[in-house]
Amino acid sequence: MFAEILSKNDELSESTLIDAIEIGVTRALKRALKASFVVTYKERLEITMLGAWGETFGITPEQIGKKLRRNMLHEIEREIGIRQILAESEKLKTLRGMVVPGVVKKIRDDNVLVEMELEDQFARYILLGVCPYREQPVHERKVYRAGEVWKWYVMGVLPIQARNRTMIVVRLSRRSRELPAILLREKSGIERIACIKRIPGAVSHITTDRRIPKQCINDVGKELKETIDVRIIK
């Protein structure tokens, strides 16, 4: 069983998988037998039960019943799932500071839940994003509707645990000072653009070292519903 687990999850390191096996087995045994255990896996599983007075008892895998084996496998799979999510969240941290498109799925407690489909050369991701109420510009609050596509600034990528499962959540913003500059860079192809001050829904003060096409400025201003004030600095 354990050799199959190691071969099936080769995207994780062997040490990470062994750690998941040891923790999963320990948790299942402790829950079933109400005792403390030391579990190690080195080519085979070694289980030691700790008695109340410090005595130790060895338990072989053959002594474990089918039901407890199933519980052990469930706990191991749960631990592996957590580690896979943590590995994915590390990989996706490169999204921080980027602007990505996302579809509004629903509004929950004034927070906007967003579905984002992203691709790299190795994989396709469908991620859940959340734009908290405080990260929504005042003039956009209550405006978002399910099915609409908006562009969102990524503040961070976090693994969270909810209802006994671990998942990746992308924290989003529409009021970030960086948003207007990134949108202008995307539309104009000019890299040296910075936003030095922004009042969302009113004005963004932009500096650059060259002229930005007027159409790009108008498009971003229309998208954000604010004035884009550009100053060229040589």
3-class SS of residue 60: coil
The confidence band for 145, taking pLDDT boundaries of 50, 70 and 90, is very high
Query: Bigger pLDDT: 192 or 6?
Result: 192
Query: What pLDDT sits at residue 63?
Result: 85
Let me know whether 84 and 16 are in one domain: yes
DSSP E strands, the chain:
36-41, 45-50, 56-59, 99-108, 111-119, 124-131, 149-162, 165-173, 193-199, 203-208, 227-232
What pLDDT, on a 0 to 100 scale, did the predictor assign at position 165? 66
**Residue finishing a domain among 92, 127, 156:** 92
Tell me: pLDDT of 228 over 80: yes
Measured distance CA(77)–CA(186) in Å, rounded: 42
Tokens of 109: 């407690």
Alpha helices (H) in 34-100, listed in sequence order: 66-92
Task: Among 32, 66, 92, give the residue marking a domain's end.
Answer: 92
7 and 74 co-located in one domain: yes
127 beta partners = 116
Q: 110 and 149 in one domain?
A: yes
- If asked whether residues 65 and 130 sit together in one domain, one would say no
**Are 8 and 88 contained in the same domain?**
yes
Residue 1: both structure tokens together: 């069983």
Provide the percentage of residues in the chain whose pLDDT is more than 90.
55
Which amino acid is located at 80 in the chain? I
Average pLDDT over residues 60-81: 87
**Which residues share a beta bridge with 157?**
170
Q: 161, 95, 174: which is closest to 130 by C-alpha?
A: 174
The whole-number pLDDT of residue 162 equals: 64
- Specify the pairing of strand 203-208 against strand 193-199: antiparallel
Number of domains observed in the structure of the chain:
3
What is the C-alpha to C-alpha distance for residues 183 and 95, in angstroms, rounded to an integer?
15
- Residue 164, pLDDT score: 64
Residue 152 and residue 217 in one domain: no
Same domain, 86 and 118: no
**Confidence bin at 94 (pLDDT 50/70/90):** confident
Same domain, 183 and 168: no
Domain match, 190 and 225 both = yes
Q: Which domain holds residue 80?
A: 2-92
Among 42, 73, 92, identify where a domain stops.
92
The pLDDT of residue 131: 97
pLDDT of 28 reads 92
Same domain, 80 and 102: no
Q: pLDDT grade, residue 82 (50/70/90)? A: confident
Whole-number pLDDT of residue 122: 52
Q: What is the DSSP letter of 123?
A: -
Band (pLDDT 50/70/90 cuts) for residue 101 is very high
